[in-house]
Amino acid sequence: MRPMVFIFEGLNVGCGKMRVLAVSLAVVLAVVGVSQAALISSEAGRGQVWAVLVAGSNTWMNYRHQADVCHAYQILHSHGVPDERIIVMMYDDLANNRDNPTPGKIINRPNGPDVYQGVPKDYTGEDVTPENFLKVLQGDAEGLRGVGSGKVLGSGPNDRVFINLVDHGAPGIFGFPTTYLYETDFTDAIVAMHRNKQFKDMVIYMEACESGSMFLKIPNDISVYALSASNSTESSYACYYDDERMTFLGDVFSIKWMEDTDRENVNNETLLKQYQIVKKETTTSHVLQWGQTSIDTKKVSAFVGRIPSQDTSNYGPFDSLDDPCLTTSIHNPDVPLATIQKNIDASDGMIGSDYWKLQKAVLLKNRTFVEDTMRQIVEAVTGDSSSTDTMMSNHHHEINDDDCYRASTTTFHNLCFDLAKNPYALRVLHPVVNLCEHGYTADEFTTAARAVCVHDPVIGIQ
């Protein structure tokens, strides 16, 4: 609201005129007070923006996940959302990593700006867990007393909540550094938040393989709107390989929605327009809407802040043949292999080439070990190779038997491969979905896994 300025001329007036002037001024000030009160009331009724940003991985190989989340923070911050209403969960092992050629900085695109500066370190390291994430969502400050910053969502019935999740995924699973989040727990938490009137509207953007599977059971009438980087049965993609850092800097879906937000006037752009742009530009996987899609008529600014962006880079949009993100994109599960291969190519037979070739051989051997282990379990359950072939090759089933799937994947995690510390193990969970959807039981899977997984615990299989 513009301030009102009063200019008094000719102060040499009689007492009667001065008295009238004083009364008039009092009336004007009263009106101004009412207007200010009305504005404050209007602002209160419109509510505030709250945000939870989560990068669920660690290690230099997964650089892109934390870089995406740091960029998301910069968007919210630059659009006027204060830090006290932004909660960030990330392992925080990149900025000062020995492999970082620019200590203290993280970038999200080649030659891009530092996106790490100023990012709140609310929950880092071992505090980045699904349990803590769910407590943050549900405003459980007591449950997080002494953990990280202790910040939780303090949103109410007039507020908007924006959630951005970035990591590895699998059917019905979103990864965290030391464990993982099940779709059922995520959905239950969101439904509880709606019941407890913790938001007016909620928007969720998720970057992960099979991320669509995390929204299959989101009700379409609780004011929750979501975008997934992929459908429920496909992988998402990484992009922007950086030769200096020898890692990928971003993920295609994340890059597309954030670079769109950077260049657009968010006060004019609707969620629907952003979805249409991101869906068109993300040619590597199927970006999908979920939940109450009628929310897409609202402006992007309602969820990222209203201050116009100061980004003048005009980074895109690009023709698909010239798009620097798309032309460097790669299937997320292939990132470790592609990174090693780039190191082999860069070595060109010189010192270090043999090391990287050995790393490639070890990687492929470990992946084969994971695949063979799952195949042995499946064959022990089905009893024949033909059915096993079907279970291993079918990627189209969605999860309906949640109890069977959860119990079976927990068994695989506990007895065979830690799903948080062996990202490639997430890639072989679709046969578990198939077994459960074909009527096999979790008990049968557990019996088979106990017989097959007699090896010592294994970690680090990318």
The residues annotated as belonging to the active site are 168, 209
CA distance to 1, 6, 106, 243, 460, per residue, from 100 (Å): 46, 58, 8, 12, 21
The rounded distance, in Å, linking the Cα atoms of 188 and 167 is 20
The rounded distance, in Å, linking the Cα atoms of 50 and 139 is 12
Residue 51 tokens read as: 């945000």
295 by Cβ neighbours in 10 Å (0-12 / 13-18 / 19+) ranks as buried
Residue 217 tokens read as: 């059971």
Cα dihedral value 204, 121, 100, 420, nearest 10: -60
Contact by Cβ (8 Å): 155, 180:
no
b/e per residue, 419-434, with b = 16+ CB within 10 A?
bbbbbbbbbbbbbbbb
The rounded distance, in Å, linking the Cα atoms of 452 and 430 is 18
The rounded distance, in Å, linking the Cα atoms of 159 and 82 is 14
Backbone angles phi, psi at 167, to 5 degrees: 180, -165
Contact by Cβ (8 Å): 290, 226:
yes
